[in-house]
Amino acid sequence: MDKKLLEYLSGYITPQRLELYNKVLATRTRYLTVVLEDIFQAQNASAVLRTCDCFGVQDVHIIENRNEFKVNREIAMGSSKWLTMKKYNGAENGNLEVIRKLKAENYRIVATTPHLNDQELPDFDLSKGKTALVFGSELPGITDSIINEADEFLKIPMYGFTESFNISVSAAIILHHLTLKMRQDNNIDWRLSEQESDEIKLEWIRKGIKRPDLLEKRFLKGNIS
């Protein structure tokens, strides 16, 4: 991460915009991350992205084994621009690829689905470590291959006749509860590192200025000469 490049490109946005970026990044987290498996309804996909941005969850992992992940711009409200979206598609075992990648990064894989050994949301122990929340497709839910790889199972308490919430509602309820709990726990190191923050800020600045490629070439030429 070239801090001089970041400083150089920062000069092409307003001080107010830079201040806003710093303010938002101070509340961003990778302690919680979201995995979406084969979501096919654009309104649901978009609503989850908007929820992740609103609650400060930076990374969203998107599995497209069967369905293409489509964003409805009116619902997403530009949220995808501020998130780090990682897509896994075209591979026969794309769902296992992301799960094993997250496990290698020391994430607990938590499937949001009813299960014999599940925990209810109020009882979930967030202090045990970084958590990847998996949400499955609207009708079939999370696939057996991910369920078999899951470390824990999580459900929202419900008291009516309906079996489950819509996926976007489920994501909103869970993320609201867990991000609030996370920020109130002084023993959880949930903030981004300085390097992570700088890398994300650089990407945001690139998206917000015209022809960043030309500006970067000018910067590199000035440093070489």
Positions at the binding site: 112, 156
Helix (H) or strand (E) segment spanning residue 180: helix 167-184
What is each CA distance from 91 to 13, 63, 104, in whole angstroms? 39, 10, 19
Q: How many CA atoms lie within 13 A of 215 on its CB side?
A: 19
Phi-psi region of 28 (alpha: psi -120 to 50; beta: other; left: phi over 0): beta
Which residues make beta-bridge pairs with 109?
132
Q: What is the DSSP letter of 120?
A: E
CA dihedral defined by 157, 160, 163, 167, rounded to 10 degrees? -60
Helix axis angle, 3-10 to 212-224, nearest 10°: 130
What is each CA distance from 71 to 40, 50, 83, 85, in whole angstroms? 10, 10, 13, 12
Residues within the annotated binding site for S-adenosyl-L-methionine? Answer: 112, 156
Q: How many CA atoms lie within 13 A of 38 on its CB side?
A: 18
